[in-house]
Amino acid sequence: MPMIDMPDFAGELLDEFRARRTSRVNTPVIQPAEPFLDMAGEDLRRRIFLTESETGASLCLRPEFTIPVCLRHIETATGTPKRYSYLGEVFRQRREGANEFYQAGIEDLGDTDIAAADARAVSDAIGILTRLLPGRKLTVTLGDQQVFEAVVAALGLPLGWQKRLVQAFGDIAQLEALLQSLVSPKPMTGLDARVAGLLATGEEKVLVDYIDSVMEDTGYSTNASRSPQEIARRLREKLALAATRLPDESFELLKQFLSLQAPLSQASQTLAEFADKAKLKLQAALSAFDARVAALANGGVDLDTITYGAAFGRPLDYYTGLVFEVSVQGEGAVLAGGGRFDRLMTLLGAKDKIPAVGFSLWLDRIEAVRAKP
């Protein structure tokens, strides 16, 4: 039984889901914790309510629906394309508001027309909120992780640094700290003197044997942790990354890119001008971006009501392309948010690559807006 009351507009919401030909799905409140800890991102990881099964398996109260819906799709071996909708409680620690609240949303799995599916997700979120909040002016902020990844790759950074920057996408403070460490690299500290010496001389076998002996002496099981070879490899990677310096020109280009902001009607031109001036090859990412803009326009969405921000992202690690949020103009609360997560299905165990996009609605926040005069 639910511990909190269902919002009074739940019926309208379910009508909207039916009109969009989605299949309503529910998932267990108790979920395996590992997928969320591995794939959801640092912000959500800090807020999860963890517990254990009788056998010691790590479990958690359902903190969101995207991962559970995807796991259910894989377990039931349902074919694609498939559109799921959900409405239920989620549990996460929050600075403001209850730790238990309702979320609803749509997950669109398997549509290979990426631009059309992206446009549909944004359009559906706007359409549903327009019905639930008649007369309220909505604002949409849109970003694109694929474009950011293309810019970072075009600058020729080592793959390790590319991964770090991509994981920080959307967190301006973290991105700035990483960029500063790239401009002014600092040597690794805190290393065992013996390990530091072996890394410097490149004596691989001696390093692995030494790590193995330390693990044995301190009681670490190689079955329960990384192997000595893996630890040695990661230490070499960290040493190489710590010594990497981003040229001043590349640093300025990244700063310029992250400062880009424009109405979506002008965003394609803004990005094309940046790529041309910076002499960066971004054709594939920009072509996909342009196709989405065209699909939104063809679907009747007013592009001037959407703001593109090059630095805009969302705090979940599984996003791969489109990211967006919807609010009421003049108010800070995010009422809907979502994006594309094409890698998530295979990471969760799907045998084939399944393109995916979706969004969630924060029902307690929508209820608060509806209560205002």
Establish whether 66 is an annotated binding residue: yes
Shared domain check, 367 and 301: yes
Show the domain range for 92. 10-151+262-371
* Residues 129-170: tens digit of each pLDDT: 999 999 999 999 999 999 999 999 998 877 777 888 888 888
Shared domain check, 35 and 111: yes
CB 199 within 8 A of CB 191: yes
* Residues 182-234: tens digit of each pLDDT: 776 555 555 666 666 665 676 777 767 777 777 777 766 544 456 777 776 66
Establish whether 103 is an annotated binding residue: yes
At residue 109, the pLDDT reads: 97
Q: Does residue 217 form part of some domain?
A: yes
Number of domains observed in the structure of the chain: 2
Establish whether 102 is an annotated binding residue: no
Task: Name the pLDDT band for 1 (thresholds 50, 70, 90).
Answer: very low
CB 99 within 8 A of CB 80: no
Q: Does residue 337 form part of some domain?
A: yes
What is the C-alpha end-to-end distance of the chain, expressed in Å?
32
Q: Does residue 3 form part of some domain?
A: no
Find the range with the poorest average confidence among 38-52, 196-210, 288-302: 196-210
Establish whether 64 is an annotated binding residue: yes
Establish whether 65 is an annotated binding residue: yes
Shared domain check, 349 and 206: no
Shared domain check, 266 and 214: no
Q: Does residue 187 form part of some domain?
A: no
Shared domain check, 356 and 235: no
Whichever domain contains 349, its CATH number is: 3.30.930.10
Establish whether 141 is an annotated binding residue: no
> At residue 104, does pLDDT exceed 60?
yes
At residue 145, the pLDDT reads: 95
More confident residue, 80 or 30: 30
- Alpha carbon distance 288, 146 (integer Å): 9
> At residue 320, does pLDDT exceed 90?
yes
**Maximum average pLDDT range among 44-53, 153-162, 335-344:** 335-344
Establish whether 244 is an annotated binding residue: no
Shared domain check, 144 and 36: yes
Establish whether 283 is an annotated binding residue: no
At residue 49, the pLDDT reads: 92
Of all residues in the chain, what percent carry a pLDDT higher than 70? Answer: 87
Establish whether 91 is an annotated binding residue: no
At residue 211, the pLDDT reads: 74
SS3 readout for the chain: CCCCCCCCCHHHHHHHHHHCCCEECCCCCEEECHHHHHHCCHHHHCCCCEEECCCCCEEEECCCCHHHHHHHHHHCCCCCCEEEEEEEEEECCCCCCCCEEEEEEEEEECCCCHHHHHHHHHHHHHHHHHHHCCCCCEEEEEEEHHHHHHHHHHCCCCHHHHHHHHHCCCCHHHHHHHHHHHHCCCCCCCCCHHHHHHHHHCCHHHHHHHHHHHHHHHCCCCCCCCCHHHHHHHHHHHHHHHCCCCCHHHHHHHHHHHCCEEEHHHHHHHHHHHHHHHCCCCHHHHHHHHHHHHHHHHCCCCHHHEEEECCCCCCCCCCCCEEEEEEECCCCCEEEEEEECCCHHHHCCCCCCCCEEEEEEEHHHHHHHHHCC
**Maximum average pLDDT range among 170-179, 196-205, 329-338:** 329-338
Average pLDDT, rounded, for the chain: 87
At residue 223, the pLDDT reads: 44
Among 181, 208, 242, identify where a domain stops.
242
